């Protein structure tokens, strides 16, 4: 039994060639050699959200099963809904449903099985042509699909799931149960029908929650597919993974309507921290940004990047350190993320070179001799301790912030290389804050963080 395409000709083109051409136009060249088993992508009309959706799908890993987890926009029910359809049709052909897996899920998870809930739901249908365009090269019927399996090299089946009223942990558990041989598409737009400025504020907040895993801060109006998003974020938190942004904008950026806009964003799951991802793929990019910023600023100009990796548009905190012949020449940074990481690095590079009160502004004649390092901070965590001895046992090997009323000081993790003794490290930090090295009180506070340390090896001594 096939489910017919309902939204061809409205949400996306009905003619196969036109549809493939449009999908291909959304693709961007990328040197990022990484494929993810889980993505978050929008589900609006392609003219609005197609570019954002493709930016996510280009990172999706092919697997035996591709789960498409989407909100139900028209029907109310509890938990999740599964279909009995055998194939889902689009202008590009048919995608087979893994009915065996559908039956297995129905036995393990609270759900209903009802085709009619899927019949007029766009949030799953609009994702299917992306899968066909990326993993299959031409239009094919259901019969052709089966005949050509040997040529494909692998068999992909879809598992369409609509989400009703349920706990997000049901989605997290579902992802965990079928993670080994599956990929997952979480279908969701972001905020709906605010003016453009308000939309950007809400979506930036939503993105920060997704990227930091602060799942308790989500509110229903932030996204229509919020339960699916929360389920994937919960899975990421439990598996030491993070979600990396690939794109974010809103319908007001496409149309002339700035008063009632819808937000769109895409992310992919990375099986480690954001800093690990940045270190692997963008170390040289970040160091080049810092050096170009300083070089142009010394000549009275401003560095304006022409191409920004989406991960650097995520909010982040950084320190930029400048040395000449191994001696400190400037160091300025941020403890808390208050802006996109790329802007934080640019601002701190400029300030380290020309605004560090301990040094004269960097001269143009010094540019060829500077050594630059950039530290990107993780989230800050408060350290609970009983006394100073207890605190000393908990500070290594982290970056440490101490605070006592209006006194505050920070050392990056790299400082341990110069001050490897814990007591000397802490006493020195106290002195940096303007406190006696023997100082301690009940109101004394300490915080820890880790940091990615990037050093410009080409210019280091």
Burial level of 142, CB count in 10 A (0-12/13-18/19+)?
A: middle
Write the DSSP string, 202-223: HHHHHHHHHHHT-GGG--GGG-
Structure tokens that stand for 222 in this block = 């932030």
- Tens digit of each residue's pLDDT, the chain (461 residues): 999 999 999 999 999 999 999 999 999 887 777 999 999 999 999 999 999 999 999 999 999 999 999 999 999 999 999 999 999 999 999 999 999 999 999 999 999 999 999 999 999 999 999 999 999 855 455 555 554 444 444 589 999 999 999 999 999 999 999 999 999 999 999 999 999 999 999 999 999 999 999 998 898 889 999 999 999 999 999 999 999 999 999 999 999 899 999 999 999 999 999 999 999 999 999 999 999 999 999 999 999 888 899 999 999 999 999 999 999 999 999 999 999 999 999 999 999 999 999 999 999 999 999 999 999 999 899 999 999 999 999 999 999 999 999 999 999 999 999 999 999 999 999 999 999 999 999 999 999 999 999 998 765 54
- Across the beta sheet with 87-90, the strand order is 2-3, 87-90, 93-96
450 in Cβ contact with 416 (< 8 Å): no
Domains of the chain: 2-271 (3.40.830.10), 273-461 (3.30.700.20)
The tokens describing 238, both together, are: 């439990």
Compute how many other C-beta atoms are within 10 angstroms of the C-beta atom of residue 359. Answer: 15
Distance CA 238, CA 176 (A): 10
Peptide bond into 26 cis (omega under 30): no
Q: What is the C-alpha separation between 284 and 262, in angstroms, rounded?
A: 35
Q: How many CB atoms lie within 10 A of CB 266?
A: 27
Q: What is the C-alpha separation between 39 and 37, in angstroms, rounded?
A: 7
Q: What is the 8-class DSSP label of residue 383?
A: P
How many other C-beta atoms are found inside a 10 Å radius of the C-beta of residue 304?
9
Handedness of CA 357, 361, 366, 372 (dihedral sign): positive
Whole-Å CA distances, 325 to 286, 289, 370: 22, 21, 8
Q: What is the Cα 433 distance to its own chain's centre?
A: 35
Instruction: List, in sequence order, every beta strand (DSSP E) within 12-73.
Output: 38-41, 65-71
346: left (phi over 0), alpha (psi -120 to 50) or beta: alpha
């Amino acid at each position: 039994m096939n489910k017919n395409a309902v939204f061809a000709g409205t949400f996306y083109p009905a003619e196969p060639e036109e549809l493939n051409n449009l999908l291909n136009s959304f693709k961007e060249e990328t040197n990022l050699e990484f494929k993810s088993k889980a993505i978050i992508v929008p589900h609006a009309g392609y003219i609005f959200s197609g570019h954002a959706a493709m930016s996510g799908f280009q990172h999706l890993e092919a697997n035996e099963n591709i789960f498409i987890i989407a909100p139900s926009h028209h029907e109310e029910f509890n938990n999740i809904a599964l279909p009995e359809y055998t194939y889902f049709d689009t202008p590009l052909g048919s995608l087979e449903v893994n009915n065996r897996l559908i039956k297995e899920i129905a036995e393990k998870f609270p759900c209903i099985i009802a085709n009619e809930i899927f019949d007029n739901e766009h949030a799953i249908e609009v994702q299917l042509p992306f899968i066909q365009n990326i993993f299959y090269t031409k239009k094919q019927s259901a019969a052709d699909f089966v005949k050509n399996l040997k040529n494909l090299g692998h068999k992909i089946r879809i598992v369409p799931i609509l989400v009703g009223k349920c706990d997000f942990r049901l989605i997290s558990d579902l992802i965990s149960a079928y993670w080994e041989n599956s990929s997952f598409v979480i279908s969701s737009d972001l905020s709906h029908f605010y003016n453009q400025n308000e939309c950007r504020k809400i979506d930036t907040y939503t993105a920060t929650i997704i990227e930091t895993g602060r799942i308790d801060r989500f509110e229903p109006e932030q996204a229509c597919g919020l339960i699916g998003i929360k389920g994937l974020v919960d899975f990421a938190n439990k598996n030491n993974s993070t979600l990396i942004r690939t794109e974010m904008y809103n319908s007001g950026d496409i149309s002339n309507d700035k008063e009632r806009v819808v937000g769109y964003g895409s992310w992919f799951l990375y099986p480690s921290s954001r800093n690990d991802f940045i270190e692997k793929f963008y170390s040289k990019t970040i160091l080049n940004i810092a050096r170009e910023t300083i070089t142009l600023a010394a000549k009275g100009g401003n560095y304006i990047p022409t191409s920004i990796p989406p991960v650097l548009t995520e909010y982040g905190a950084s320190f930029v350190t400048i040395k000449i012949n191994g001696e400190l020449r400037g160091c300025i940074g941020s403890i808390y993320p208050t802006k996109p990481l790329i802007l934080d690095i640019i601002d701190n590079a400029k300030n380290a070179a020309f605004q560090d009160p301990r040094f004269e502004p960097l001269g143009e004649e010094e540019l060829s001799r500077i050594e630059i390092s950039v530290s990107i901070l993780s989230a800050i965590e408060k350290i609970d301790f009983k006394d100073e001895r207890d605190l000393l046992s908990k500070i290594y090997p982290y970056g440490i912030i101490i605070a006592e009323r209006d006194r505050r000081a920070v050392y990056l993790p790299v400082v341990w290389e110069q001050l490897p003794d814990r007591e000397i490290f802490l006493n020195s930090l106290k002195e940096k804050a303007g406190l006696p090295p023997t100082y301690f009180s009940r109101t004394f506070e300490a915080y820890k963080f880790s940091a990615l340390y990037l050093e410009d090896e080409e210019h280091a001594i």
